[in-house]
Every structure is written in structure tokens, then in C-alpha cells.
């Protein structure tokens, strides 16, 4: 058991292999965003000069001259002719921290215009910053994380717990921050892995050669929280040097710290990308039940949670664009 856990810590099936450009359609919005429809899924890329640092609930965040700006470019319900732009207060960098490189951001509600909405920005390194955009004279509340295992973690918001949470880089702990008066007091939950996957030695060796990242995602329809371990590797089969997704494992976590490996998430579909990971019933996005769709910087694909195997498709995202983001609701593209 301990050996398996240490290794974990360190179908659109055949269709994806044979896709051509006829499966893609694109449209533009205000010249800033390219929206692409891929086999019923929709994702977007933005111009690199915009300084995009992340996306949550359809709102894109950019960072320029120390100021984070939120804009509703990926919100399917937003106006195409009158997009909203909300500038947050200037960032304050804590000692021995940096605020130029961002891991991701998350929001506690669907719009930063909601009075109680909190925006969390996780920077690479120790700093985690919170802001309430809709409140007058809002300022950043900055937290310095001492534990280095959280330095490159991705933050998410849990409606169930009313906290911002992130997994440690080894996936052994979940750190959570209350958005109320105890925001500086981190809650740490140690995970106990159950029902671990059974793999042969060759499969473990493949995983050992991969880059691994951990992502927390909450289903707001079922109240479940999943921890996804995403394994990617540089493609050595050809000379393009692109990444490919080799495997992912999904664990259903609870408030007691149990992380149970699962091959069945019901009718849900998880969307992984540089944006905040989200989880919806598959019917909302014309997807497949019990599936994960993923977007990397130079590849995309999907896989069934039932067998953890994936199909990858190399897609040459525009060199002038940023890494892509899933759109949180399906939007019809003319």
C-alpha cells in the first residue's frame, strides 16, 4: 500500500486520433478572444499581449503593471457588444514573494459584481491574495504560505465548505482558507488514500517519467469534491516536442480526509485546463458521462474515468494566443 501511494504522489476514443480541421469552427469577439468549437466542446484563447493569467466562471483575468483586471469574455451570457471590465486594486507583494507569475485564480461566486464575491489569486511561490471587488475601497488581503508543498498549487473555491482550497504538490494534504475573519488561519486536512488503482510495473514506470499535477474540483450538483491527478509527458514519438496526457486518476474526497479512488463519477464531466477546473453534468456541455476533457498548451483530448486511458489530439494553438480555457457553459457558435 505505501509503495503504491508513494508512486501516486511522486469515447470519443478513436475519433480523436483521426480528426482534421473540419471538426473545428472559430469565431471572434471584439478581436480579443478566439472561440473554437471542437466536437461539441467550446474553448477560447486570448491575445498574448493581454497578459491573461487565468479564468473562473467565465471571467478572464489579466495582469498588467501590477493591476489585475477581470473581463467577461468567456461568459456565454455576457454582451458581445458591451463587455464588462473590472479593475482590482494594485497588487501588494509580500516580502520574499513575487506577484508576476500566477498559478491560477478562483472566485467564490459567478460574478465579481456580487457584493460578497471574493477573488483569490494564487501566485507561484508563497503568496495567496484575496479581494472583494464589489465592496468600496476594497484592498487585497495577502497570505504568506510557509509550507513549500503549496507553492505551485492550484486554488479552487468550495461552495460546500465556503472556503478556498488547494492540494499540496504531493497530493497528501488539502489546505483551506476561510473567507471570513479567520482568513489567515489555514485549515490543513491530511488525505488517506483508499482503494488505490492496481497497475503493472510498466505502467508505474511510465507514470514515474511523467509530469504530475493535482487539481481539486467540486460538483455543485452532487456536493462531491474530487482530486484529479493529471500525468503528462513530452511526446517522443515524433519531433514536434509537444506534450501529451498519459493518464489521470480521480479520487472522491470527503470532509474526514478519505480519498477514495473511483472509476465512476456518474453523469458528470470534468473540464481540466489552465483555468479553474470545473465539473458539470455532461448534458450541459454535450459531453459524455463519466469523462474528463483536458486542454494543455499544445494538445487537447478526453478520456473515460472508468479506464483512465486518454486520447490526445495535437492542436496548433495560435502562437499569438495564450493557453486555452474551457468555456463554463456551452455556447452556440454561429
Assess if residue 332 is contained within a domain: no
Return the pLDDT at 333: 34
Alpha carbons 298 and 166: distance in angstroms, whole number = 25
For 244-303, write each residue's pLDDT tens digit.
888 899 999 999 999 999 999 999 999 888 778 888 898 876 678 999 988 877 778 888
| Confidence band for 28, pLDDT divided at 50, 70 and 90 | very low
Assess if residue 44 is contained within a domain: yes
CA 136 to chain centre: 29
Q: Which of 4, 20, 10, 5 is nearest to 316 (CA)?
A: 20
> Which residue has 461539441 as its cell numbers?
40
| Segment among 27-31, 56-60, 106-110, 228-232 with least mean pLDDT | 27-31
Q: pTM of the predicted model, to two decimals?
A: 0.81
Alpha carbons 303 and 252: distance in angstroms, whole number = 18
> What would the mean pLDDT of 222-230 be, rounded to a whole number?
94
pLDDT of 320 over the 70 cut: no
Assess if residue 334 is contained within a domain: no
Alpha carbons 30 and 27: distance in angstroms, whole number = 10
Alpha carbons 174 and 253: distance in angstroms, whole number = 10
Return the pLDDT at 9: 52
Kindly state the DSSP code that residue 297 receives in the 8-state scheme. S
**Counts of helices then strands in the chain (DSSP H, E):** 2, 26
Assess if residue 137 is contained within a domain: yes
Return the pLDDT at 137: 78
| Segment among 24-38, 41-55, 227-241, 243-257 with least mean pLDDT | 24-38
Contact 229, 8 (CB under 8 A): yes
| Confidence band for 239, pLDDT divided at 50, 70 and 90 | low
Q: Which of 193, 98, 108, 92 is nearest to 151 (CA)?
A: 98
| Confidence band for 27, pLDDT divided at 50, 70 and 90 | very low
Our count of domains for the chain comes to: 1
151 Cβ neighbours under 8 A, 6+ residues apart: 124, 125, 126, 145, 169
- Domain containing 168: what range? 2-326
For 77-133, write each residue's pLDDT tens digit.
667 777 789 999 999 999 999 999 999 999 999 899 999 999 999 999 999 999 999
Alpha carbons 227 and 245: distance in angstroms, whole number = 17
Assess if residue 255 is contained within a domain: yes
| Confidence band for 154, pLDDT divided at 50, 70 and 90 | very high
Contact 235, 241 (CB under 8 A): yes
Assess if residue 227 is contained within a domain: yes
Return the pLDDT at 188: 94
Domain of residue 124, CATH code: 2.120.10
DSSP H helical ranges for the chain: 2-9, 201-208
Mean pLDDT of the chain: 79
Assess if residue 228 is contained within a domain: yes
Assess if residue 266 is contained within a domain: yes
Amino acid at each position: 500500500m505505501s509503495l503504491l501511494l508513494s508512486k501516486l504522489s511522486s469515447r470519443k476514443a478513436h475519433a480523436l486520433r483521426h480528426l482534421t480541421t473540419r471538426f473545428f469552427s472559430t469565431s471572434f469577439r471584439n478581436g480579443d478572444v478566439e472561440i473554437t468549437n471542437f466536437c461539441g466542446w467550446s474553448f477560447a484563447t486570448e491575445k498574448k499581449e493581454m497578459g491573461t493569467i487565468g479564468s473562473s466562471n467565465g471571467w478572464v483575468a489579466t495582469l498588467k503593471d501590477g493591476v489585475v483586471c477581470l473581463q467577461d469574455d468567456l461568459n456565454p451570457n455576457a454582451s458581445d457588444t458591451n463587455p464588462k471590465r473590472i479593475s482590482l486594486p494594485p497588487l501588494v507583494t509580500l516580502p520574499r514573494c513575487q506577484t508576476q507569475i500566477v498559478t491560477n485564480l478562483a472566485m467564490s461566486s459567478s460574478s465579481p459584481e456580487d457584493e460578497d464575491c471574493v477573488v483569490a489569486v494564487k501566485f507561484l511561490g508563497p503568496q495567496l491574495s484575496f479581494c472583494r471587488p464589489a465592496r468600496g475601497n476594497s484592498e487585497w488581503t495577502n497570505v504568506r504560505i510557509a509550507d513549500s508543498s503549496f507553492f505551485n498549487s492550484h486554488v479552487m473555491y468550495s461552495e460546500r465548505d465556503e472556503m478556498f482550497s488547494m492540494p499540496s504538490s504531493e497530493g497528501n494534504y488539502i489546505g483551506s482558507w476561510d473567507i471570513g475573519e479567520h482568513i489567515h488561519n489555514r485549515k490543513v486536512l491530511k488525505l488517506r488514500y483508499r482503494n488505490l488503482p492496481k497497475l503493472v510495473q510498466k505502467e508505474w514506470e511510465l507514470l514515474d517519467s511523467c509530469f504530475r499535477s493535482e487539481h481539486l474540483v467540486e460538483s455543485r450538483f452532487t456536493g462531491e469534491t474530487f482530486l484529479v491527478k493529471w500525468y503528462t509527458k513530452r511526446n517522443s514519438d515524433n519531433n514536434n516536442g509537444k506534450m501529451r496526457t498519459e493518464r489521470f486518476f480521480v479520487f472522491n474526497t470527503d470532509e474526514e480526509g478519505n480519498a477514495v479512488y473511483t472509476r465512476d463519477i456518474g453523469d458528470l464531466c470534468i473540464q481540466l485546463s489552465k483555468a479553474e477546473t470545473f465539473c458539470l453534468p455532461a448534458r450541459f456541455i454535450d459531453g459524455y458521462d463519466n469523462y474528463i476533457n483536458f486542454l494543455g498548451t499544445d494538445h487537447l483530448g478526453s478520456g473515460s474515468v472508468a479506464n483512465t486511458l486518454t486520447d490526445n489530439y495535437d492542436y496548433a494553438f495560435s502562437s499569438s494566443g495564450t493557453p486555452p480555457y474551457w468555456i463554463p457553459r456551452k455556447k452556440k457558435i454561429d
